[in-house]
Each structure stands twice: as structure tokens, then as C-alpha cells.
Amino acid sequence: MSDIKNPSENNETKEGNVLAGFVLYKDANMDWARFKKSLREDWNIVCDDEVKDNAIVFRVGDMVVACSLMPNPVPNKEAEESAKNNILWKDGVKAVSAHQAHVMLAVMNKFDPLEQALLFAKVAYSLLKLNNSIGIYKNPTVYERDFYLGFAETIKDGEYPMPILIYAGMYLAKSGICAFTSGMRFFGKEELEIIDSSKQPNEVISFLYSISEYVLSENAVLQDGETIGFTEDQKLPIKVSAGVSVPGTTIKIGY
């Protein structure tokens, strides 16, 4: 239980309809040709646009993707600080501190946030396939390279890779395990919380991802006073009230 940290007060990156993140690299040797090859072979995204000044902007349907290489670390140690929020990456801060360059990735001009988030994951995947990549800083955390690649792969099977679409935090309170999401509001949903659970940490996080996937895939609205469950016998209470672990109104599920 020693690796469970207190929640971050940061929220997901969303400015208007822009979804942004920073792919971290060991050096500034950017293999744009290999990036384009991955887009084509892994996702059937054909990018014929030219790279100018180590940046490229291209369209995918009605969305615009922008990638720009910065030959320096993310300023103000932001990435290193956010890496502390990844409870699954034991040496994350050390690994992230070694980055010497980063690509700013932005996906814009889409009114279906789920499609936008999936395209972001596909492009991030192709950027992370480069040999000198370390991970991706997407507020409020940094995802380890292989972790992100593994979950992004599941998009090919028609799955929603929830652990990279949203952030789930967890910490130990006096009365049990507490967990929360950060990123559901990007999709027009309230953040989810589990307060003072007696379950094991892995059970709590897995359940939180499952509920999040249900809400997004079914466009479900969880109402105060109702119950939810994945079996006929499971009737877990839903409460909508001021957030405990995150600001604003949240949906709390008794688990």
C-alpha cells in the first residue's frame, strides 16, 4: 500500500476542442519517416504532408493533428512532477527526468470527444513507437511507453483503452481505499469517485475503469439515488454531490 499517493488537483488538458499532450524523448533525433510509416501500417492513416522546421500538421477526416518537436525538456519540471502521479511506474520520475526533447501533440476541431481521444491515442502510439521515446505526458500524469503502446493496441480490436483515455488516481484514507477519475469531463461526463472502499486496490481501480467505460460507450447518465452493477445481484448505490478527491460535482459509487 506504500505506493498509493494522494490525489493530484490537476485536471485533464482541454482548451476548447483541443486535446494535447507531450511525447518525451531521450534526444532530439526525430524519425518522422518511421512515424508516418506507423500511422499508415498501424492505423491506415496516410500522411503525405511535409515536415517543416521539425513540425507537421495534417488532417484526418474533419480533425487536425499537429506535431512539433521541441529540442529541450518540458519546461519547469512539469513532466517530472506529473510522473509522480503514476502509481504503476515505480521509476517513472527517474526515467522521465532523462528526457531531452519532446513532441507537442494536439488533436483539434472535433465535436465527438471520444473519436478525438481515440485519434489522439493512435497518433501518440505512432510517436511512441520510435526507439528513443520514453513516455507521454498527458496531464495529470506521464504514461510509460510500453504501457501506453499496449493499451493503444486494443483499439485495433474495437476496445476503448480506458487506462490511457482517462486518469485514475488512488490513495489510502483512514477508512479505506479512495479512487477518482480525471478526464471524464472532457467527454461531457462528471468525474467518478469511490470513497472508503474495503476492496483491494487493484479491484477498486479495475472497477472504476469498467464503470468509466460503460458510461462512455453507452453514453450513460448515472443518477443520484439509483444503483448500478454488473450482475443481477450487484446493486451499488450512486450519489451525486460535491467532490471529495477532485473539485466540482462528482458521481460517487459505493463499492
pTM for the full predicted model: 0.91
Res 8: pLDDT? 38
Domain spans, the chain: 19-162, 166-253
Task: Report CA dihedral (202, 203, 204, 205) to the nearest 10 degrees.
Answer: 50
30-43 pLDDT, tens digit each: 999 999 999 999 99
Q: How many CB atoms lie within 10 A of CB 119?
A: 21
| CATH number corresponding to 19-162 | 3.30.310
The tens digit of pLDDT for each residue in 207-218 reads 999 999 999 999
Per residue in 100-116, pLDDT (tens digit) is 999 999 999 878 999 99
pLDDT of residue 1: 29
β pairing state of 176-182 and 191-197: antiparallel
Percent of the chain exceeding pLDDT 70 equals 94
